[in-house]
Chain A
């Protein structure tokens, strides 16, 4: 492995990392702006024009606040919790293809950190690890509300992980590959998008993505009315910031994943018919991909200010008794239809 390869990857990783952080920061502003829009008020508008400096102020404030570790808390695990949360949130984006390749000089740069053969399973595994950050933080706080929040969060996320995995299997039966790059390449144009063959699978995946990100209507781990904040109740300063950050990063990554798996990733209609050079196709593709991601993030926020929260038994029932049977039915349906298609047509 030559040095140039390592340098290229380091630059790419850092770039994606910075973009992820900036998007996560501005998602907080966007969320408040969307809330303001839906509730017919302005939202933050004091810091800079249209409140554009608000996330920077918030970030700075996080840094300069006193960090408190409660006397009864388990100190090392208390610090480890948010660290694990942010790490698991950040490594998910490694397999997402952001665009095709750029040619600079005689060097071809793939706009994807790495195209592993097991990309889909890698994402699934990273999602599975996300539980640790929440559970450790909630348990280490030594607070009954935190513990309740953590246990709820863990049960919720493992329940919805199953339905998510089953939804992915139906998708894999269509794509026949686990590499995200190949999945995107198969969806070129508009009619080849996986959403048209897997609408039910997408719906299940979408609901599970909401649950995995702990977003409304699945935000029971942190509902203020019952748990006064949930698993991150005892956290302050940047440790709280890391938890919130990881939540927004998760939202961004799962939006990117949904766009990749079901909405054609960086593909856009007529991309090869316009007579553009490869670099231009790539650049427009990246813009299109981010537009799709932003649409999903907006959808996340829209839902947040539209739907009320579930009750806990409703949440578990939805996960186990509705989504899992639906996902299995989806697999059976996909299997039978594909076999009939292959045999008779």
Chain B
């Protein structure tokens, strides 16, 4: 249990660091560490497949994409756009609204009964596969359409038509 609290503390700490640090590259790196602590959480819960998906997809793929985007942008200080006071003011209002909504929803929510897993090994890769390919087959197949859409969208956005240019 104490391990959980320690790792949870680390997750929250690095998540806050992600927000508060000024340098965007540092921010990405703190987010990577945050994801790493999530991986540790999953391992503690014996959800190995989730742990490894988090490790490979989030830490290994999505964050690399973030780094790429950061490096694509011009990160010199002089090109940093100055945010006007109006934008800051609107940001504060939006943030407060979110906070109020979250607080209200937490007040209304009831604490659910702790769920006891019938099978503690459900998180292992082979067991998860059995469930995924029987009970959740349709969502799985539909997810491939989602990925297809993402692929087409990415290519459409990033690649301009050679005929038009």
Contact = CB atoms under 8 A, between A and B. Distances in A.
Contacts of B64: 128, 131-132, 135, 154, 158
A117 B48 contact: yes
Contact of A139 (B25, B48, B51): B25
A305 to B, nearest CB: 32
Interface stretch (A40-48, A118-126, A287-295, A311-319): A118-126
B42 to A, nearest CB: 11
Given A117-B48, A178-B125, A128 B68 contact: no
Interface residues of B, number: 18
Interface in B47-80: 48-49, 51-52, 55-56, 59-61, 64, 67-68, 71
Nearest to A77: B25
B8 to A, nearest CB: 21
Contacts, number: 53
Contacts of A77: 25
Interface string A147-187: 10001001000100000000000000000001000000000
B93 interface: no
- Interface SS of chain A: helix
A332 B66 CA distance: 33
Given A118-B52, A124-B56, A125-B59, A154 B124 contact: no
B165 to A, nearest CB: 20
A74 interface: yes
Nearest to A131: B64
B125 to A, nearest CB: 6
A117 B121 CA distance: 11
A129 interface: yes
Contact of B56 (A121, A135, A151, A154): A121
Contact of B71 (A122, A124, A151): A151
Contacts of B124: 117
Contacts of A154: 64, 67-68
A131 B64 CA distance: 8
Given A117-B124, A135-B64, 16 more contacts: A80-B29, A116-B48, A117-B48, A117-B125, A118-B48, A118-B51, A124-B56, A125-B55, A125-B60, A128-B56, A128-B60, A128-B61, A129-B59, A132-B32, A136-B29, A139-B71
A-B complex: 9 closest residue pairs judged by Cβ atoms: A128-B60, A125-B55, A121-B52, A125-B56, A118-B48, A118-B52, A131-B64, A128-B56, A135-B67
12 contacts: A118-B48, A118-B51, A121-B52, A121-B125, A125-B56, A131-B60, A131-B64, A135-B67, A135-B71, A154-B64, A158-B64, A178-B125
